[in-house]
Structures are given as C-alpha cells and as structure tokens.
Chain A
C-alpha cells in the first residue's frame, strides 16, 4: 500500500475502529491485538495501545475481565460492550457511506 504521510491522521483515527472490529469476534488480550495488526499498515505498540484502550473503556465501548493464563500472570481480556457493538456497526455503515460518496463525487 502507498502509505502517504498525509494519511497518517486517517490511520490514527481508524485504529480505534479496527480494534473494535478485532474484539468483535472474540475476546482478546493486548498481545493478540498487536500480532493481528502486525502485518497491516496499522502496526502499533503497547505505548499507543494501552492509553487508547483505557480511553475506549472510559467511553464504555469496551470492557475487560481478568483471566488466568497457562503461562505467566493473568491477562486482561477485552470484549465489546453493547455500546461498542452499536458503535462498530454504525462505523461500518458510515464507512460504506463514505466509500460511495467518494466514488460518486468523481463522476
């Protein structure tokens, strides 16, 4: 992909919704999210992800529960709240709308 510098703000803004999408399938913990994003244009690091997740939790889009792991300390597993789910579907609709708008304007 051509990752133009001008698109940086777009990518940054989209990250939140990508995380909603990742969590939507099943509850996940941070390392798993990062490995999913690893090979995409949205590769990110703990330093960015933890503050973002805490912000999303404050906005009640996601919630987490502690779960024991076989190796190491218990992990925070994140899941979508009802509000997060509606936010995600709203986002998808809006994304489709944006797509059609962009494509139609060119004609």
Chain B
C-alpha cells in the first residue's frame, strides 16, 4: 500500500504514488532551475508537463487509475534531463559544466534493455550482462546450459525476452542499461563503439534460421530422450519385480493419482495468488523479479514435478494391469478427475476466499490479466542498485 498524491500536470489531474511524486518533483525543480534564465521558461515547463502527462496516460486503464513510482521513473527516463544551450560566455558554460560532472541527485536508473551492439542474436544476453555488470560470455554459457537442461523450454523464454525487452536506442537508454548516469560519456561511447556494425540484416536472418533449426532439433531430441529413458527404467524395474512389488504398485496408483491432482490444485492456487497479490502462500516474490518471470518459473516447477509423476503412473499401469493396462489408465484418470472435482467442490463450499474468487470471477480475472500485462510493460523499469543487492 502506498500513499497517493493527486497532482496537476498542465491541467490534467493524475494520481501518483508518493515516491513517484517525489522524483517527479525533483525532476521538474531541476528543469526549472536549468531554465532559470530562459525567457520561455513558463511555456517550456508547460510543454514538458504535457509530455509527461501524455506518457503517464499510457499507463492508465479503466481499472488502474494510479501511476506507480516505477512507471514515473520510466517516464522521466524517457524525457531525459532538461538541457539548455548554455553557450553565452565561456565562464558561464564552464560554471555549468561543474555541477553536471557531479552525480545526479537521484539514482541513475538501471533498466533491462536489449543491446544490439556486440549481440549474437538479438541482444538479450548483452543487455542482461550490462544489467548485472558481468561478462556477456558467462550469460551466454548460462543460457545454453539452461536451454539444454530444460529440454529447450528456455528457448521459449529467450524468445519471450526477445519480444518483450525493449531495445536501447538512445544514448541515455544505452547508458541506463548499465546503470550509469546519463552524463557518463565513457559508458555511452563504449556502448556506441560497435553501433552500426550489425546492420547487415541478411546475415542476421541467415544466422537466425540456422539457430532456429538447431533449437528445433535439440527440442525434439530432448523430449524423446526423456520419454524413453524414464519409461524404460520404470519398466525394467517392474519386469523384474515379483507379486508383492506389483501389489505395492497397484496401491501406489491411486496415491499417485491423488498426489497429481493435489499438485495441480496447488499450482493453480499459487498462480492465481501470484497474479492477484504478488505473493505465494504469504511469501512475497522479490520486488526485482517481474511477475511474468515468476509465473514462468512456476510453470517450469510444475512440469518438473508433474512429468515424473505422470511417467511413474503410466509405468505402473503396465506393471499392474498387464494387457488390461488401458483399463487401469482409464480408472486412474477418472480417479484423478474425481479427486480434482472433490477438492474444487470442498474448497468452493468451505473456503470463503475461493467462494469469493468465483463469485467475482470476471473482475478477478481482469485484475490478474492486467497485473501480468503490466509486469511485461514494467520490465524495462528502473530498479535501484541497492534493491538488486538486497535480493541477491
């Protein structure tokens, strides 16, 4: 919960979170002092306010009428510092250079961007490397390892990042990608050094096609290997097992069915909680992690838990049912569905939260959806260095 302050931007009323209001005020005050000697000061200030108002309006929707602090940081980052042409006399320009060399009084915003300079594909890895200030090769190795470990699912994540993370186009954005203040010329220069080398789009497309083929191959191989290996192993186990083991397996089937149903329920509840309140069973996710990333993580976790369960259940049908295994499978499926229905019915009638949720399903769905879409938009948002340090 945050205090909300209503402000007037060139005749438009906006609700701002308190920290956002503070940084906006700091920005406008600095602009005012920069324009001190400018005869058009009032007009420029009105233009700036109108531009900020337009940008803020993009963040508002029918069910969201407050501009959050992080959104304000984003807007101010887009606006850029107010500069005037201070080329009147040598002394005055020298005097102006002095305060500019000092660090700005608000934290240099650090944002996640894709950086095309030095990129292999799209610039996701270079952007992440700049964001965490680590070597880009480390990020690439990490990504390849993740792609292999997750059987290619990480590739989907990578594609999602490619589509979602904005490109750093201006000097300021490139500087912000590494968290440097706008006026740190070296950082800007380093980021711009190879700018334009990557303009050969034909080359890029060829590279991209090649990469896609490679990913598809890996994806197939990975899925095939997994399905085969696990099922075969469980099979071998059952082939050598005696009557007692078969009995145990038979008893295990309903247990596993119930377990799968329960895991599924917990997963759904976790996602709903995460999307509505940003916390799972009372545990809040770190503020630096966007909502959509945590939902992806949940999906991976679920598949990591449910896949082995499913394979185990399948293997047990063979083991117990022999030729009639399909009957066992059908029964087992029915059992799982039954447990699921039971859990749903029980929670709907006995848990007021669940009851409420379904009573206002449409609104709840809307808020969840808005939250997720928002988190996508905000991924490029300023996160202070200290906040990252806290969460690591």
Contact = CB atoms under 8 A, between A and B. Distances in A.
Interface of A: 1-5, 8, 30-31, 38-39, 43-48, 50-52, 54-55, 57-58, 72-73, 76
11 contacts: A4-B189, A8-B185, A39-B169, A46-B79, A47-B80, A47-B81, A47-B83, A50-B44, A55-B40, A57-B40, A58-B39
A55 B169 contact: no
Contacts of A48: 80, 82-83
Contact of B44 (A3, A38, A54): A54
Nearest to B53: A73
B244 interface: no
A47 B31 contact: yes
A26 B51 CA distance: 22
Interface of A is mostly: helix
Nearest to B77: A45
B196 A1 contact: yes
Contacts of B81: 47
A1 B48 contact: no
Given A46-B51, A51-B44, A76-B47, 5 more contacts: A38-B169, A47-B79, A50-B44, A51-B38, A58-B39
B288 to A, nearest CB: 26
Given A3-B195, A4-B189, A51 B82 contact: yes
A39 B173 CA distance: 13
Nearest to B192: A3
A28 to B, nearest CB: 15
Contact of A45 (B80, B85, B195): B80
Given A39-B169, A51-B35, A73-B50, A46 B83 contact: no
Contacts of B92: none
A44 B170 CA distance: 7
A3 B78 CA distance: 21
Contacts of A30: 47, 51
Given A4-B189, A8-B185, A46 B38 contact: no
B224 to A, nearest CB: 44
A44 B169 CA distance: 10
Nearest to B27: A47
Interface of B: 12, 31, 34-35, 38-40, 43-44, 47-48, 50-51, 54, 57, 78-85, 169-172, 185-186, 188-189, 192-193, 195-196
A47 to B, nearest CB: 4
B383 to A, nearest CB: 21
A4 B44 CA distance: 31
- Give 7 closest A-B pairs by Cβ, nearest first: A45-B80, A47-B80, A54-B40, A43-B170, A47-B82, A3-B192, A46-B51
A70 B370 CA distance: 26
Contacts of A54: 38, 40, 43-44, 47
A16 B172 CA distance: 19
A32 to B, nearest CB: 13
Given A1-B196, A54-B38, A45 B44 contact: no
A5 B78 CA distance: 22
B172 to A, nearest CB: 7
A1 B192 CA distance: 9
A5 B51 CA distance: 29
B172 A46 contact: no
Given A38-B169, A45-B170, A50 B185 contact: no
A55 B48 CA distance: 15
B270 to A, nearest CB: 39
Contacts of B78: 45-46
Contacts of A4: 189
Nearest to B80: A45
A46 B48 contact: yes
Contacts of B54: 31, 72-73
Contacts of A73: 12, 50, 54
A22 B340 CA distance: 64
B218 to A, nearest CB: 34
Contacts of A8: 185
Nearest to B46: A50
A5 B183 CA distance: 12
